[in-house]
Amino acid sequence: MEKIEFNKVSLIINKNTPLEKTILKNISFDIESNKIISILGSSNSGKTAILELLSGLMNPTKGTIKLSSSKDFSKKNIGYLFKNPYDMFFCKTVYDELAFALYNFKYKKEEIDKRVNNVIKMVGLKEECLKLCPLDLTLNDAKKVALASIIIYNPEVILLDEITIGLRKEEKDKIIRLLNLLKNKFKKTIIIATKDVDFSYQISDEVYLMNLTKFIKRGSTEILRDKELLKTCGLNVPKIVSFIEEARERGIKLEDYKDIKDLIKGVYRSVF
Amino acid sequence: MYSRTTLGNFYPVSSIIHKLNPINKVFCLVLYLIFLIFNYSLKLHFIEVAFFVFIMMISNVPFRFYFNIIFKPRYILLFIIFVLLLSGVSLEMSVIILIKIITTIIILCILTFTTSPSELMYGIEKFLNLFNIFNLRLSKLSNKIVNLIRFYPLFISTEYQVLKAIETRGVNYYKTNILNKFLIRRKIFKSVFVITKRKINDIKNEAMFRMFSLKKFRTNFRVNKFSFYDLVYLIFHLFLIFTLLYEKGVFYALFN
């Protein structure tokens, strides 16, 4: 499997001006393919900057980013979902928004129509919204359209910036199901920058912790049980973990569930 | 997303120029515009340019930002000079007109880089109030003027954002030839204009809400008080006007 390697990467913006700011400081790690990876950290920790470097929108001030197979990284097919989905929209209708990338990659009209219809079903949108202006959509629908607009051209790596902001529990569950489908069926590498520890605990294969421009630790979701470590990054332990630990302290035997529905079943079995 | 500093953007650092009173800045801008329209003396223009270069240096805004803005319309400026020379205007007059255009850009840069939008709106409103014999609501007018100034930098940052968005979908604007760049810009122009208009509308409504007051005074507002440096700034602009009047012989006519 190919890895994406960050080698002593630093990012400084507004260099040699009074507003000079270090966004990333000497980051070195690698990202494996065909996994769902969360980059967790509080505000200003540099999560969005990592995604922007991966997508090629910014270049590192120092260090290099490359594939382990030594192929040119910039040619890797990457889709990037912005934190504010409305920042991605510039077409008149949702259909034009979804079809834009395919027109650029010289797809035929029939193929574009087919892909648009498939992708809106995949993200859970109705056909009626294809005629609407994307700037007039609700936040939830805007996120779906933005996600659809990057999935439609089948990128190998999908970068998601704070995808769960403003979403209710049911919508988050739909996002989780969709991302698992993209990983398992379509073999995508999905990298999520988020502050949502609960979402990250449910969905991630690997977690990368960031704090104030520096890379702290990498591991499985087990590292999200470390209260002290998460405190240094300005985060809290997932609610489901703190509930299970408290239940165990009170003598209720529970396994390490990640999903709330499985937890409820487990609690029912233990108590009754 | 990192916005690009351009004409109309506020550059948030601390400097003597940032701490000047906004009403004084607007008043001095009007004095300067009067000087600009009526002055055709190269000597006075050089004095004025030297002063504004000094102001640029002490404003703590990197010099290259000013230079980039002045350098951008270089082809338009060269074209203007070419047309003037072709139509029989003397070289000295053409140079004077060029200096007028460049110093107008510089003074607008200094004003917008060193004055926050709220302060600028306050300064314009209070200045216009001096002439408000019909007791009009000037807050809306000053809001519109400031939003007009802010339209250009907002347009540039929205265009930059849209170019980033299309890059994530396979169109790399920066790594293509001039013809493709022109075609891409033409394609996205209307969308960028519409998005910028929407943003300006939101900003306008937010500003009116923030500036709203039942008791005729502003809330949550920071104003730089009139200081020694404001006096120096004002005296220089008055000096320009007086020397202009002296050059035109107004004092001679008055006292003879």
- Taking the C-alpha atoms of residue A147 and residue B203, their distance in angstroms, rounded to an integer, is 28
B1 Cβ under 8 Å from any chain A Cβ: yes
* Residue A264: pLDDT band with limits 50, 70, 90: confident
Alpha helices in chain B (DSSP H): 22-38, 42-58, 63-71, 74-86, 91-114, 117-129, 138-167, 178-211, 228-248, 250-255
Which residues in chain B have their CB less than 8 angstroms from residue A89's CB?
A: 165
Bin A22: left if φ > 0, else alpha if -120 < ψ < 50, else beta.
Answer: beta
**Residue B132 Rama label (left phi>0; alpha psi -120 to 50; beta):** beta
Domain of residue A206, CATH code: 3.40.50.300
Could you tell me if residue B121 is inside a domain?
A: no
User: Which residue of chain B comes nearest to A13, CA vs CA?
Assistant: B2
* For residue A176, pLDDT beyond 60: yes
A165/A61 same-domain check: yes
State the complex-level ipTM. Answer: 0.74
Domain with A147, as residue range(s), is: 79-155
Whether residues B71 and B89 share a domain: the answer is yes
Q: Is the model's pLDDT at A192 over the cut of 90?
A: yes
Range of the domain at B31: 8-115+226-256
Residue A96 and residue A140 in one domain: yes
Which chain A residue has the Cα nearest residue B188? A90
In this predicted structure, what is the pLDDT of residue B131? 76
Residue B163 domain flag: yes
- Residue A145: predicted pLDDT: 92
What residue of B is the nearest CA neighbor of A55? Answer: B168
Between A56, A90, A101, which is nearest B188 by CB? A90
CA angle A57, A60, A62 (to 5 degrees): 170
Mean pLDDT by 10 residues, chain B (256 residues): 63 89 90 88 86 90 85 82 85 86 88 86 83 73 82 84 81 80 84 87 77 54 78 91 83 66
Q: Decide if B166 touches A, using CB distance below 8 A.
A: yes
Chain A residues in contact with B167 by the CB 8 A cut-off are: 56-57
Q: Does B192 touch chain A (CB under 8 A)?
A: yes
d(CA A80, CA A78): 7
Residue B196 near residue B155 (C-beta atoms within 8 A): yes
Kindly state whether residue B84 falls inside one of the protein's structural domains.
Answer: yes
Do residue A56 and residue A121 come from a single domain?
no
**pLDDT digit string (tens) for A181-191?**
999 988 889 99
B-chain CB neighbours of A18 within 8 Å are 13, 60, 62
**Is residue A88 less than 8 Å (CB to CB) from chain B?**
yes
Residue B2, in any domain of the structure: no
Would A206 be classed as within a structural domain? yes
Q: How many domains does chain B have?
A: 2
**A95, A208: one domain:** no
Chain B contact present for A182, CB below 8 A: no
Using a CB–CB cutoff of 8 Å, tell me whether B168 touches chain A: yes
Same-domain status, A57 and A163: yes
Judge if A37 and A164 occupy the same domain: yes
| A87, A92, A135 member nearest B165 (Cβ) | A87
Q: Are residues A130 and A162 in the same domain?
A: no
Whether residues B24 and B41 share a domain: the answer is yes
Interatomic CA distance for residues A257 and A260, integer angstroms: 7
Q: Is B202 exposed, middle or buried (0-12, 13-18, 19+ CB in 10 A)?
A: exposed
Cβ contact A18–B171 (<8 Å): no
CB-based contact, A91 to chain B, within 8 Å: yes
Confidence of residue A76 (pLDDT cuts 50, 70, 90): low
Using CB atoms, which residue from A55, A92, A105 is nearest to B168? A55
**Residue B1 pLDDT:** 37
Evaluate if residue A235 carries a pLDDT over 80: yes
Query: Are residues B107 and B49 part of one domain?
Result: yes
Q: Could you tell me if B61 and B110 lie in one domain?
A: yes
**Mean pLDDT value across residues A216-242:** 87
Same domain, A55 and A161: yes
- Name B106's Cβ contacts closer than 8 Å, sequence gap at least 6: B52, B56, B66, B70
Tell whether B32 and B88 lie within a shared domain: yes
- Considering only CB atoms, A90 lies closest to which of B60, B191, B198, namely B191
Q: Which residues pair with A214 in a beta bridge?
A: A211
- Alpha-carbon distance of B132 to B124, in angstroms, equals 12
One domain for residues B182 and B99: no
CB A62 within 8 A of CB A140: no
Run of H or E including A28: strand A21-32
Residues A52 and A105 occupy one common structural domain: no
Is residue B195, in this structure, part of any structural domain at all? yes
Mean pLDDT (whole number) for A226-255: 86
In a domain, A66, yes or no: yes
DSSP assignment letter at B116 = -
Interchain contact B88–A (C-beta under 8 A): no
Residue A83 lies in a domain: yes
Could you tell me if A66 and A136 lie in one domain? no
Residue A167: its pLDDT value, please?
84
In this complex, do A90 and B165 lie within 8 Å of one another by their Cβ atoms? yes
> Does residue A106 lie in a domain region?
yes
- Among B4, B169, B202, which would you mutate to test the A interface (most chain A Cβ atoms within 10 Å of its Cβ)? B169
Pair A101, A132 in one domain? yes
Residues B151 and B213 in one domain: yes
> Are B111 and B234 contained in the same domain?
yes
My answer on whether B165 and B66 are in the same domain is: no
Q: Do the chains contact at B62 and A18, CB–CB below 8 Å?
A: yes
Most confident of A109-118, A263-272, B132-141: A109-118
Inside any domain, residue B131: no
Which pLDDT score is estimated for A246?
86
User: Nearest-CA distance from B195 to chain A in Å?
Assistant: 8
Q: Decide if A20 is inside a domain.
A: yes
Residue-level pLDDT at B216: 54
Do A19 and B13 make contact, defined as CB atoms within 8 angstroms?
A: yes
Q: Answer yes or no: is A238 within a domain.
A: no
Whether residues B74 and B198 fall in one domain: no
| Domain contains A242 | no
Distance CA B113, CA B124 (A): 16
Give a yes or no: residue B120 inside a domain: no
Co-location of A68 and A85 in the same domain: no
- The mean pLDDT value of chain A amounts to 86
> Looking at the domain assignment, is residue A208 inside a domain?
yes
pLDDT, tens digit, 9 for 90 and up, residues A130-162: 999 988 889 889 999 999 998 888 888 899 999
Residue B128 covered by a domain: no
If asked whether residues B103 and B177 sit together in one domain, one would say: no
What confidence tens digit (pLDDT) does each residue in B3-48 have?
A: 456 777 788 888 899 999 988 999 999 999 899 888 888 888 888 8
Q: What is the pLDDT of residue B2?
A: 43
Residues B188, B237: one domain? no
Q: Which two tokens stand for residue A265?
A: 């079943």
